[in-house]
Amino acid sequence: MKTQWWKNAVGYQIYPRSFKDTNADGIGDLRGIIEKLDYIQDLGVDCVWICPFYRSPMDDNGYDVSDFYDVDPLFGTLDDAKELIAKAHQKGIRIILDLVLNHTSDEHPWFMESRSSLDNPKRDWYIWQKPRQDEKGKRIPPTNWASFFEGSCWNYDETSGEYYLKIFSDKMPDLNWANPDLRKEMYAMSRWWLDLGVDGFRVDAVAHLSKDTSFTDSEMKLNHDGVAPDWSKFSNRPELFEYLHEFHDEVLKHYDCLSVGEVGGGANVKAATRYAGYHAKAFNMVFNFDHCWKNGAFGSEDKTDDELTVNVLDLKETMDRWIQGMKGKGWIPHYWLNHDHPRVMSQYGNPRKFHRASGCMLGTVLLTLPGTPFIYNGEEIGMTNVDYTDINDFNDVWVKNYYEKAIKRQSPEQILTHLRRTSRDNARTPMQWDDSASAGFTTGKPHQKPVGNYKEINVKQQSEDPSSILNAYKHLIRLRKHGHLHSVLVNGDFKLISPKNKDLFVFERKKDDVTVLVVANFRAHEIRYKLPYLPKAIHYDNYGLAEISKEIVLLPYQALVLEK
């Protein structure tokens, strides 16, 4: 029987490579997650989404899968995965697997067969096209489409004399979802993991399963690589939903599981209802990225950190548009960041001057929004972006591709500033457990350099500080999950208050006779504000004030959870 348990849940995302290493090889592993299950349980979360740990050459940190049915030795064994699932369940924690359906590694046996000859039975499991020639007779790709990872989305294969489509890395060829045999294999693999005991999937890059099979050039303006960043050629296309309905009927509807689709490529609210509407027969919810870049980080190389300002009006409008657009139509998740984004503390908080206050404020907003909140590991202690001064400290394959091209038009200093603000490596540094060497993540050499502030920002230090960001998250999760505010915070109506205020994010949650007012100051200075009413109770204040009047002066990054 389906219980829709995920509606009342708080999720927690783990990037396993950087979470906890138990064998001193410098790479986090499944046994590290098992070791930290008590920490996860104490935080109060209900389900854990774990980034890929399948067997992989690790070109893109595990999203390039070479065997869907095995665990990569870097992370452990299949028995470790089974033990993790069992022990998590004993603690009331569900496990969500990151399901990669769009592509495989070029070292997957399927692709090795596919590229071996033009008439191989698995040739059509991937997307192949013949070369074109330019006016000089030079071989060029089949279309002018750009890849998400810089350059063309086509890669030439010398063996067969054709190009294969790869919208991410060269080593991640896209699967051909138009092939029914391929789809059957992906459904069987998905059922295998659910039968093993996982409680659902976060489906990676799901918006891209269907492509424009006319394979015609985009009319969009070409970028500095001479290709068109026209994501509509392989994003949110009509045929996609036929595949998702089939996936639902063949897999999801037979299990009491959570399904979350990662929907990029310009999906709007209307499109989201097709993915996760109550009657869509696809997913339970979808992640969108619209709220993630509201501080002008891109193109900010000539600005100081203090000159970057959160566009609170845009942030509020975006969140309100999604919440109201999905109201009565589908469930919605909320998150500040994931493994592909910069740290929210550095984007929307103030790590240098108001680390504790801004971290608590951001947690307050996240955990009082409607729907299902997801916390990214390290967010609960206010981990920050990297402080790297050497390009060699970065690991991300996208960074390497970007640097190679950007150095032709920018200085190394400009590129490093850009990467410190936007790189995916910002979220992939080792989890900061304590102030010992390598932040307590490993006793060996870490696969990636920890952020230099780990001696001041770590789990051990914050566990011992009642006013810390970590303890604020624990309190806010309890507030959301237990007691008389549970129903209003999960299911209550959402209404923006003072929507034109450019500094404050104020909203009301209301259900039956319970009304909660959340007030959040996104600025590093005091702000005068008149509350719409005098509250009867203060359920949270990150400055710990005991009393409140109707006319208040909000301190920098102050956050309040009030009951009418």
Mean pLDDT by 10 residues, the chain (564 residues): 88 98 98 99 98 97 97 99 99 98 99 97 98 95 96 96 98 98 99 99 97 97 96 94 97 97 82 92 93 84 85 97 96 95 96 98 99 98 97 90 89 92 96 98 98 98 98 98 96 98 98 97 98 95 89 97 96
- Partnered with residue 562 across adjacent β-strands are 517, 538
With residue 538 as reference, give the H or E element that holds it.
Answer: strand 537-541
Structure tokens at 280: 């869509």
pLDDT at 299 (0 to 100): 76
Asked if 458 contacts 432 with a C-beta cutoff of 8 angstroms, the reply is yes
**Interatomic CA distance for residues 562 and 379, integer angstroms:** 24
**Interatomic CA distance for residues 213 and 248, integer angstroms:** 24
CA-CA-CA-CA torsion for 71, 107, 141, 408, nearest 10 degrees? 70
User: CB atoms < 10 A from the CB of 37, how many?
Assistant: 16
Structure tokens at 201: 């999937």
Using CB atoms within 10 Å of the CB of residue 437, give its burial: 0 to 12 exposed, 13 to 18 middle, 19+ buried: middle
- Partnered with residue 467 across adjacent β-strands are none
- Largest pairwise CA distance in the chain: 78
DSSP 61-96: TT-S-SEEEEE-TTT--HHHHHHHHHHHHHTT-EEE
Structure tokens at 54: 């399948």
Instruction: Give domain limits for the chain.
Output: 5-102+180-385+463-470, 109-165, 493-563
320 closest CA partner among 458, 72, 500, 63: 500
Task: Please name the residues in contact with 471: beta carbons below 8 A apart, sequence gap of 6 or more.
Answer: 462, 463, 465
pLDDT at 266 (0 to 100): 66
Is CATH 3.10.450.50 what the domain over 5-102+180-385+463-470 is classified as, yes or no?
A: no
Fold of 109-165: Oligo-1,6-glucosidase; domain 2 (3.90.400)
**Interatomic CA distance for residues 111 and 122, integer angstroms:** 8
Task: Please name the residues in contact with 523: beta carbons below 8 A apart, sequence gap of 6 or more.
Answer: 503, 556, 557
Per 3-state DSSP, what percentage of the chain is helix, strand, and coil (rounded to 5)?
Answer: 30, 20, 50
**Interatomic CA distance for residues 168 and 333, integer angstroms:** 25
Task: Please name the residues in contact with 268: beta carbons below 8 A apart, sequence gap of 6 or more.
Answer: none
Is CATH 2.40.37.10 what the domain over 493-563 is classified as, yes or no?
A: no
Asked if 546 contacts 537 with a C-beta cutoff of 8 angstroms, the reply is no
Same fold, 5-102+180-385+463-470 and 109-165: no
Q: Is 440 left (phi over 0), alpha (psi -120 to 50) or beta?
A: left
Query: How many residues are recorded in the chain?
Result: 564
pLDDT at 488 (0 to 100): 98
- Quickly list H helices, 389-438: 397-406, 412-422
CA contacts within 13 A on the Cβ side of 417: 15
DSSP 302-317: TS-GGG----HHHHHH
Asked if 7 contacts 372 with a C-beta cutoff of 8 angstroms, the reply is yes
Helix (H, G, I), strand (E, B) or coil at 50: strand
- Partnered with residue 201 across adjacent β-strands are 97, 259
Asked if 322 contacts 363 with a C-beta cutoff of 8 angstroms, the reply is no
Task: Please name the residues in contact with 195: beta carbons below 8 A apart, sequence gap of 6 or more.
Answer: none
Helical packing angle, 355-366 and 469-481, nearest 10°: 20
- Rg of the chain, C-alpha, whole Å: 24
Active site positions, annotated: 204, 262
pLDDT at 1 (0 to 100): 59
